[in-house]
Every structure is written in C-alpha cells, then in structure tokens.
Amino acid sequence: MNLKVPDTPVVVVDLDKLETNIREMAEFAREAGVSLRPHIKSHKTVEIARKQMAAGAVGVTVAKLGEAEVMVEAGITDILIAYQVVGEAKLRRLMDLMGRATITVAVDTLPGARMLAEAARGRGRHVPVVVEVNSGLDRCGVLPGEETLRLVRQLLELPELIFKGLMTHAGQAYGASSPRQVAEIGRHEGEVMVATAGLLRKSGIPVETVSVGSTPTVKFSGRIKGVTEIRPGNYVFYDAIQHGLGVAPLERCALSVLATVISRPAPGRAVIDAGSKTFALDKGAHGTAVVQGFGVVKGLPGWQLTRLSEEHGILEDAAKMEREPEVGEVLDIIPNHACPVVNLTDRVLVVRSGKAVDEWRVAARGRVR
Amino acid sequence: MNLKVPDTPVVVVDLDKLETNIREMAEFAREAGVSLRPHIKSHKTVEIARKQMAAGAVGVTVAKLGEAEVMVEAGITDILIAYQVVGEAKLRRLMDLMGRATITVAVDTLPGARMLAEAARGRGRHVPVVVEVNSGLDRCGVLPGEETLRLVRQLLELPELIFKGLMTHAGQAYGASSPRQVAEIGRHEGEVMVATAGLLRKSGIPVETVSVGSTPTVKFSGRIKGVTEIRPGNYVFYDAIQHGLGVAPLERCALSVLATVISRPAPGRAVIDAGSKTFALDKGAHGTAVVQGFGVVKGLPGWQLTRLSEEHGILEDAAKMEREPEVGEVLDIIPNHACPVVNLTDRVLVVRSGKAVDEWRVAARGRVR
C-alpha cells in the first residue's frame, strides 16, 4: 500500500472493493428475486449503509436497538431488529423509535412477545414482528414446523403485534469445513423456512416475509423458491474466514489492518503494534477450522500471525524461508473476522487505489444496548 | 444485585472490591520494598488511575502512547510506556508529550533505539529508556544475560537515550496450569532480571530500575531481592482467569457484566443480550486451561456461558439440574478477562453495596495508537 505512512494500527477500507462487493450482492438479490436487507452490524457505519441503500437494499437489519437508533438518525426508515427486544428500558426506547421509522422486531418466546405487546399497548402502538426460527444454529429461535405454528397462533392473539413472517440465521455455516457443506447448510436454511411458511399458510395464516441470513449461505438459501428476503452482513468486506469457507477470494477482502513492526526479537519472529484490541480473537464464532492464525499478511505469505496479546501481534515464519520484515515496516493484514475489528475502532481510513480519500466514523461502534 | 434494573448489557464495577484490591496491592508493594507502577491498560479509566496514585503508586504504566496522552491529560506526570514506540507519527507525538511529563520508553532492538534517539536529537530531548528483557514470554524483549548487556552497551553510545534499567513481563504465567507453576514463573521472572542487572553492574553500568510485571507473578517476582518495581494491571478487577490461576477468589472480582435473558429456546439453554462484543473471546491470551466457557454466572453455578456470537451469549446447563432463568431476568457474570471487556465499553457503572453511585468514562478506550 502506497499510503503516506499513517499512524498505526489503523483499519483501512478499500473503496473499490467495497463498492464491488455491495454492487455484486445487490445484483444477486435482483436476479434471485429477493429483497436485500443487509445487516449493518458488520460495518456500523452510516456511509456504508447509505451505499447499500443506494444499490437497492429495501432497508437494513440490525442486532441491537442502539444500532437501529444510529440508522434512523442517518435517515434510514425501514429497519429489522433481528433480535429480541427485552427489558423495560429497551422497550421504552423501541416505542420512541417507532414514531420515527418502520421497525420490525424478532420474537421467539411467548413471554418476550407479551412484554413487547404490553409495552406497545401502553403507547398505543402496533409492532410488526417476525418469528425467529432455529434452522440449525441452536442459538435463539423456535424449532421449525409445528413449534413455530404454535407460537405464531399465540402471537395472533396479541392484537398489538402484527405478524409479518419468519426469519432465521444459519450461522452454523461458519462452522462448516468445506464450501460444499456451506452450500448444504444454505439450501437447508431456505427449504426449512419455506416449508414452515407453507405450514402456516395451510393453517390460514398469511406469511409475507421469509427472511434468511448470513453471507456464506445467502447465495444458496436466497435461491430457494419462496424465500423473500436475504440479510447478509459481512459481504461488504469479506475476510479471512469467508475466504477459508470458499465464499470470496482474498482479492475481494475490502478491509485490512495496517500495523507497524515494533520488534524483531528473534529470527523468524516479528512483533507488530496490533493485538487483540485491534484484531479481536476470532477464529470463527462457531468453531471453524478454516483459518490459520489471526489474519493473512499480504505480501509475506510465509509469515503467520500466530499469537495476539492485547496490544501485540506475534508473527512467525516457522520455515524461516522468507524475507524478515524490518522494525518500522508497515504490514497490511486481512483479519479473520472483519465485524469485531470495525467495532474496536472509532474510525476507518478509506482508500482508493492506495490513496487515502476519506475517513468514516464507525457511528454504531459499541452500541451493544 | 439490587440495582434498579439498568439497560443491559452493562459493565459494572464494585467500588468496595476495587478499593480493597487497590489498597491490598499497594500494601504488598510497601512490605516488599518495591515501587508500584500499575498498568492502566486494564481499566483505561482516569478515576481508577487516580485511586492507584492516591494509594501510593509512583506513576503508571501504559502500553500505548495514546494511553499515555490520556494519563498526562489527567495530571499523572510519571509514565512508563512499556512498549516500543516506533514510527514517525508516534515519535513526533512522544516528543510533544515529553514536554509535559516524565515519559520512560521500552526498547529492545538497536534499530528501534536509533529511531528513538534520532527523533530526540531533532527536538533536543533526552529520553529515559528501559530495556525490555524476555523472561520467557517470547513476545518482545532481548534474551537476559549477555544479549541484554550487548544491547545496553550499544544504547550507551546513543547520547539522546538515558539508560534507566530493565523491564520484563512474564505473561507466560497466564498459560500456567497450576498456582505452583505461576509461583515458579514469578520467581524466575525476578531472579533472571536481578541476575542480568548484576551482570550489567559488574560491567560498570549503573542499573536504577529492575521492573517486573503481571498480576499473577508480582507476588513472587516482587519479593526477589534486587527487584525495584512491579507493574501489575488486572489486579484492580481480577476476573475468572485470575481466579482459575489461583490469584484471587471470585469474591474479589470487582468487575462484572449485567446481561438480560432474551430467549429460552430450549430446556437447558438460555440466551443473553451480551456476546463477544461485550465479553471478548478471551480464554487466556497465552493458552490457559483454567476457565470453562466465557465467564462465571453468579448465583447460577450450574449454568455455563458456553458460546458467544457477536451480540448473543449462549448459556447452557448440561445437567439440567438447576433453576431455569426467565426471559427478562438480569444475570450478573464475571468475565474471563476484564481488560478487553473494559475496552469494549464507553462507560462503566460504579456501584457500592449494590447501589449505583457513579458512572466513569473509559477515557483511554480504543487508544491502540
């Protein structure tokens, strides 16, 4: 990278690659005939959300209410909170936000739905909801089929909730060991949702939305007839885990970390000024075996980022076959997982053709509430 | 915890426990006859640094220049940057900061030392330095003994550097499998440093500072005759890893995360609204086997925080013997590693006897540069 040596560590976004990734996913959604509602938890950045909307997204997905607040503030008015909104303080904030935008919320338990309905009643509101279905991740979500039907019937008795449809996130794809397995998980994600929607409709319940998620799986689940919406997030950047899963080549990875070599304490060992407080410790949230170390060092393929302390990254060249980087040298590293990396920085440096052209604030960084 | 239900997830600091931990370590340093220079990377908070100074610390330790800037802004004027300051932008900032406080810097390579000396020469400054010695962590640091002597002799030829002494951090203690092993690593940390200081003195080089670090080891290395300074950081809070290493009982852990149960999707499984963007993914930076899951759930010992997604924590009760928490219930969880948890939040809630009494800004959060 030919940047005029910036202070490091710094998170860099390549604008050409970012725009290619955004455009390509929007084209896929159009071809597959599904709505694109990208998950902004990956970038937490207003500028990127606006690019996604401009490329044809129908709205955005968020995990946390705090992220929704930032997006509404930025002028985005159709938001899915793909998350259970629970707790007095949050329900109050949700009702406030509903006055300013269309906010759909995920539910997966009757107690949670009742609290939501009660909060809405108190404020004279009606809340659009989707039921979260467990398509194999075993995190949140009711089981597909009869169990989903049972919960939906209970929801229909709560007049403050407007049942819109079903959503799922097949995050278990991150634990896949091959692209073939990713594809299988993706097809299953779509099929199980379409089947459950069919069961509801047979019971006389209209289902408007059948929404599936995750960057690795949407190219498969998004093609299943009956799926109406996809919610990929990470695709704006991609990263070493997506590469390992066969989802994107390294050349498409739009986000990287520039770090400076601060020590060369022994042959085959170099230390950089970025550790887990920059890279996070992600090796795949659900147990992936598709990455080695904590990132891919561009231009020095023999060197692996084998260990991270909080502020140190330890690079090792086990074979000692490659050029040794020098103290002061700036390295460009694709992280394993771009999403937590963005959440650890206040701003990202935006480059085009190796030149810094902008700096974006990570406006929803740290919005875990 | 009897807090009036706060919005979650929220990082909570128990003031009584914090003050006990700060006082106890200050007393240890006095008894052992060593200076206490606590590492503020654990809390990144001005209020806590001031309590440490009031309890008798001689100054503070930081990892990054950005942390040093926050501490100088807060009025602390004696700072060790236990880190190699490398790169043009940083050297410029360091020289600026030296006009406002006594800043000592770690060096461990001749190229790094030369860059530092050159920057100082350009500004007419003299920089106090300590040489970082590798006492077994194999991260930064020159080998003890002859290799350290060789580097120190080279530094003495750079008139802009003022050689103050030696520092090390035996972070490999976090990979220990028993309290006995922690003690051995600690004693070795002190002994190897004192021996190397002796070698330098025999060669006619005065050594003022022999500084050792890490919360698990200082109670052992700090007692070795000849050690002059200790730099523990995590002790202000302690956490599940420190507990697992036998360093402190759980009752001394001053930092915890309050999180709300948002789903109860299956018997023996509950999901909370705090994931890796609150807890981080730390299971011990150097390979510890002393924790199970990602935290200790107070009051529900049968439940383990087995998995973290970015915004979800999955609790499981494998034995299904214990009470099932309800949707909406707030749980109090001691994280594995307090330091990255603090770095993920803008503010911590301060409680005394279960009542919120203050809120502190994590002023040096994200200061990785």
Tell whether B52 is within 8 A of chain A (Cβ). no
- Please report residues of B whose CB lies closer than 8 A to that of A265: 108-109, 134, 138-142
| β-bridge mates for residue B105, sequence order | B81, B129
What are the start-end ranges of the H helices in B208-310? 218-221, 240-244, 276-279
Task: Quick: pLDDT tens for A258-278.
Answer: 999 999 999 999 999 999 999
Task: Quick: pLDDT tens for B199-221.
Answer: 999 999 999 999 999 999 999 99
Q: What is the pLDDT of residue A286?
A: 53
Q: What is the pLDDT of residue B4?
A: 66
Average pLDDT in the B283-309 region? 85
pLDDT level of residue A110 (50, 70, 90 thresholds): very high
Over chain B, what is the mean pLDDT? 95
Q: What is the pLDDT of residue B318?
A: 82
Distance from CA of B327 to the nearest CA of A (A): 7
Tell whether A311 is within 8 A of chain B (Cβ). yes
Task: Quick: pLDDT tens for B31-54.
Answer: 999 999 999 999 999 999 999 999
Q: Which of A39, A174, A260, A262 to mutate to test the interface with B (most CBs of B within 10 A)?
A: A262
Q: b/e for A91-130, b at 16 or more Cβ within 10 A?
A: bebbbebbeebebbbbbbbbebbbbbbebbeeeeeebbbb
Q: What is the pLDDT of residue B301?
A: 85
Average pLDDT in the B103-122 region? 98
Touching B: A residues 170-209, CB under 8 Å: 171
Separation CA B253–CA B280 (nearest Å): 17
Q: Taking the C-alpha atoms of B327, B332, B333 and B337 in order, what is their torsion angle to the nearest 10 degrees?
A: 130
CB A316 within 8 A of CB A268: yes
Q: What is the pLDDT of residue A322?
A: 80
pLDDT at B152 over 80: yes
Task: Quick: pLDDT tens for A216-249.
Answer: 999 999 999 999 999 999 999 999 999 999 999 9
The answer to whether the CB atoms of B89 and A7 lie below 8 A apart is yes
The answer to whether the CB atoms of A112 and B84 lie below 8 A apart is no
DSSP assignment of B116-141, as one string?
A: HHHHHHHHT--EEEEEEB-SS--SS-
Q: What percent of chain B has pLDDT over 70?
A: 97
User: For A148, which residue in chain B has the nearest alpha carbon?
Assistant: B265
Number of Cβ atoms within 10 Å of the Cβ of A316: 18
Q: What is the pLDDT of residue B177?
A: 85
pLDDT at B93 over 60: yes
Sheet of strand B102-107: strand arrangement: B35-36, B229-231, B209-213, B161-167, B127-132, B102-107, B78-84, B60-62
Separation CA B29–CA B295 (nearest Å): 30
Type of residue found at B94: L
The answer to whether the CB atoms of A86 and B369 lie below 8 A apart is no
The answer to whether the CB atoms of A326 and B262 lie below 8 A apart is no
Task: Quick: pLDDT tens for B298-327.
Answer: 999 899 999 999 999 999 998 877 889 999
Average pLDDT in the B328-339 region? 97
Q: What is the pLDDT of residue B1?
A: 47
The answer to whether the CB atoms of B263 and A112 lie below 8 A apart is yes
All domains of chain B in start order, with CATH: 15-235 (3.20.20.10), 248-361 (2.40.37.20)
- Please report residues of A whose CB lies closer than 8 A to that of B111: 264, 326-328
The answer to whether the CB atoms of B307 and A286 lie below 8 A apart is yes
pLDDT level of residue B5 (50, 70, 90 thresholds): low
Nearest to B344 among A339, A346, A366 (CB): A366
Average pLDDT in the B111-125 region? 97
Task: Quick: pLDDT tens for A290-348.
Answer: 888 999 999 998 999 999 999 999 999 988 778 899 999 999 999 999 999 999 999 99
Separation CA B159–CA B185 (nearest Å): 35
Average pLDDT in the B233-246 region? 96
Over chain A, what is the mean pLDDT? 95
Type of residue found at A228: T
Q: What is the pLDDT of residue A320?
A: 77
Q: What is the pLDDT of residue B320?
A: 77
Nearest to A271 among B87, B139, B276 (CB): B139
The answer to whether the CB atoms of B366 and A344 lie below 8 A apart is yes
CA triple A222-A224-A228, angle to 5 deg:
60
List the beta strands (DSSP E) in A97-186: 102-107, 127-132, 161-167
pLDDT level of residue B147 (50, 70, 90 thresholds): very high
**What is the reported pTM?**
0.96
Q: What percent of chain A has pLDDT over 90?
A: 92
Q: Which of A25, A12, A91 is nearest to A352 (CA)?
A: A12
Task: Quick: pLDDT tens for A124-181.
Answer: 999 999 999 999 999 999 999 999 999 999 999 999 999 999 999 999 999 998 999 9
Q: What is the pLDDT of residue B284?
A: 73
The answer to whether the CB atoms of B89 and A328 lie below 8 A apart is no
CB B55 within 8 A of CB B248: no
Separation CA B107–CA B103 (nearest Å): 13
pLDDT at B288 over 60: no
How many residue pairs bridge chain A and chain B with CB atoms within 8 Å of each other?
A: 208
Task: Quick: pLDDT tens for A1-53.
Answer: 445 668 999 999 999 999 999 999 999 999 999 999 999 999 999 999 999 99
Distance from CA of B228 to the nearest CA of A (A): 25
Distance from CA of B275 to the nearest CA of A (A): 9
pLDDT at A185 over 60: yes
The answer to whether the CB atoms of A343 and B277 lie below 8 A apart is yes
DSSP assignment of B147-175, as one string?
A: HHHHHHHHHTT-TTEEEEEEE---GGGGG
